[in-house]
Each structure stands twice: as C-alpha cells, then as structure tokens.
Amino acid sequence: MIVLEENVMISGYTALYGLVAHPAHHSLSPMIHNLGFKQHQIDARYLVFESQARPQDVARAILTLGVAGVNLSMPYKQSLVPLMDELMPTAQLVGAINTVALRSGKLVGTNTDGDGFWRALQKRYPNLASQQIVILGGGGAALAVIEAAARYGVVTIQVFKRQNTTYAAVEQRLAKIANHHSMSIVLHNYADEQALQQALSTADCVINATNIGMVNTPGLPMAAPLIGQIPMTCLVADLIYAPRQTAFLQLAARSGHPTQNGLGMLVEQAALSFQFWTGQVLQTDPIYHALTKEF
Ligand code: NAP
C-alpha cells in the first residue's frame, strides 16, 4: 500500500476510475493510477471492483454511475468488446480490451497491453532492434504484443500455441493482424520442438506469454536445454511479473542473456490507459521506483 497524502480531499466532483476483474484484490493498478492522479493533481481516485457480474451488467454499471474509466482483466477482456460503442483500431485487431473510457455517455474501448510491453522494452534496452521474435502462447496478452510489434520494427513473428479448440480462431486472428501490418506471422504447434529449435536459432527476442512460471503455475515454458540454444544476443522476456524473475528468466540470465520481466509492461500499459483517460502523460520512473520498493 502507498500512502498518497495526509488529509486526502475527496469532493463531490471527484472522478471515479477502477479495475473490474476477478481476481482483482492483488492488483498494483490502484497504486499506479492514484500516484498518477497525485502527480498531475487530478481530482480522481482509482479503486478495485472485484467482480464476477455479467459483462452487460458491468457495462451498464459504468454507464449508469458515470464511472470515468476502467481497466479490465480476467474474465472481461474479450466479453466486453461487443458492448463498446466504439473500439480503437488496436482493440479491433486484438479482439480484446484492457481499457474503457466513458466519453460523452459512450463506452470507448482500447488495448494498451501490447504497446506497454514494447515501450517498456525500448526504455530498458534503447539500442535493441528486435526484428525476428518468438512468442510462446497465443492468449490475449500474446495477441496484444504481436499486434503492437509492427510499430516497433518487428518483421517476423513465430508463435507457439497448443493445438486445441482455440487454435483455428487464433490462427485466423493472426492472419488478420499479419495482413493489416504487412508482416510475417507463423503459428506453430507448441509441441513441435523442432520448429521451436529452428525459430530460436534466428530470434533476436523470445517472449514467454503463457501462464507458465506464475506463482501458482510454476515451471518452464520450454525444455531447459532449448534455453541454452537461444543466441547469446537474443533478449529473453517474460510477461509475468510475480514472481519478479520466473524460472525461465533465471535460466536465461544465468546463461548470459539480457532479460526483461513483466513489471515494465504493467507500468507502461497503465501509463497508456492513464493517457487515454486524462490526456496527461504519466511519469513512469517514480512509479516504477515506488513499485520496486514495495515488492
Ligand atoms: P490467457 O489469455 O489465458 O493466455 C494464456 C496463454 O498461455 C494461452 O495461449 C495458453 O495456451 C497458454 N498456456 C497456459 N498454460 C499452458 C501450458 N501448460 N502449456 C502451453 N501453453 C500454456 O492469458 P493472458 O492474459 O494472455 O496472460 C498470459 C500471461 O501474461 C500471464 O502470465 C499474465 O500474467 C501475463 N500478463 C502480464 C501483463 C503485464 O502487464 N505484465 C499483462 C497481461 C498479461 P492455449 O491458448 O493453448 O490455452
């Protein structure tokens, strides 16, 4: 918890923002956004709404109560998409939203996850030029990172995803993104180790966008010997930020690779949501500093 100020004033005009998700109580977003409101002296507060309500009830609550903006996480990122009055192009391509703004009584949805990831990477490694990337997983976060990649110079993406009921739909969405951005995106079966080995040999950035490595789902997203075959100059990234260093990042760092965890992405996607709502640029360095002190 971060203490914002003594004698906090909340007026009849204080705007309300929040996170709607389940689970949500663990979220760091209230810290980030409330520090942002303080940074810019904006009369607003950001709260957590731990919710399992129906998507249409969430949308109605935002509209009825005049909630100025929300972030969405599980299980709402896709289910609220059809309830938006307007979708930003990136959200249309990804098929998921993490940010909603209430503008003149209309719900406007966008997705800041992908740009958040690449902005964080560029801040930490300004000279890094990723052109060929390998991404493990084809869920919502992976698709957002893939959609944004073209804006950061990536030309070829090899995606590895389990061949299950969602495979065909992900393949279709990847084709749409590839077509829109005129880039090459190839989807492989996650179990195809030979294809993975081949893809890794030419990659300059490998990203774990699966859930493997989280506190409740520990493990490695690829066999340990394969990590040893990633080129030394290749950056190894994980979208996970809890734990701060997954087993995957630990092994990669130990073999000398530059690494990046998901904390920077968390802060940068929040900064982009903040800007979408308020038009103000969030200074992320002090926020990143506060979060690293807090952990
Ligand atoms: P999601 O939509 O549920 O996608 C999860 C992906 O992981 C799916 O592609 C799933 O495969 C794959 N997966 C799960 N278990 C697997 C296994 N045992 N073997 C192979 N693949 C497996 O979740 P998401 O929202 O994309 O999130 C993915 C990760 O990103 C999570 O760790 C999340 O915490 C992190 N994330 C971080 C940020 C941040 O700001 N740093 C933001 C968003 C998400 P199938 O498709 O085959 O089911």
Tell me the best of 74, 171, 189, 210 to mutate to test the pocket of ligand 1, counting ligand atoms within 8 Å of each CB and taking the most.
Answer: 210
pLDDT of residue 2: 62
pLDDT tens for 228-263 read 889 999 999 999 999 999 999 999 999 999 999 999
> The tokens of 202 are what?
């030419």
pLDDT of residue 107: 98
Q: Atom 27 (ligand 1): residue with closest C-alpha?
A: 141
For residue 139, report the distance from its CA to the centre of ligand 1, in Å.
Answer: 5
Mean of pLDDT values over 210-226: 95
CB atoms within 10 A of CB 51: 17
> The tokens of 30 are what?
């209230």
Atom of ligand 1 nearest to the CA of 113: 42
145 vs 288: which has the higher pLDDT: 145
Mean of pLDDT values over 210-218: 94
Query: Is residue 140's pLDDT more than 80?
Result: yes
Please give the order of strands across the beta sheet that includes 15-21. Answer: 44-50, 15-21, 69-72, 99-103, 106-110, 86-87
pLDDT of residue 130: 81
Q: Residues near ligand 1 with C-beta < 6 Å?
A: 113, 137-142, 161-162, 164, 166, 190, 209-212, 214, 239-241, 262, 265-266, 269
pLDDT of residue 219: 97
Atom of ligand 1 nearest to the CA of 190: 20
* Residue 283 pLDDT level (bands cut at 50, 70, 90): very high
For residue 207, report the distance from its CA to the centre of ligand 1, in Å.
Answer: 11
Mean of pLDDT values over 129-155: 95
Query: Is residue 9's pLDDT more than 90?
Result: no
pLDDT tens for 177-191 read 999 999 999 999 999
pLDDT of residue 293: 77
The catalytic position among 77, 161, 176, 293 is 77
pLDDT of residue 292: 83
Helix axes 263-278, 29-39, angle to 10 degrees: 50
For residue 249, report the distance from its CA to the centre of ligand 1, in Å.
Answer: 16
For this structure, is 77 an active site residue?
yes
Query: Is residue 3's pLDDT more than 80?
Result: no
pLDDT of residue 220: 97
Identify the CA nearest to 282 among candidates 145, 172, 149, 120. Answer: 120
For residue 64, report the distance from its CA to the centre of ligand 1, in Å.
Answer: 33
Residue 16 and residue 127: Cα distance in Å, rounded? 39
Helix residue ranges per DSSP H, the chain: 29-39, 55-65, 89-94, 113-124, 140-149, 167-181, 193-201, 224-227, 247-254, 263-278, 284-294
pLDDT of residue 5: 61
pTM of the model: 0.96
pLDDT of residue 185: 98
* Residue 70 pLDDT level (bands cut at 50, 70, 90): very high
Residue 119 backbone phi and psi in degrees, to 5 = -65, -40
pLDDT tens for 80-136 read 999 999 999 999 999 999 999 999 999 999 999 999 999 999 999 998 888 999 999
Residue 72 backbone phi and psi in degrees, to 5 = -120, 140
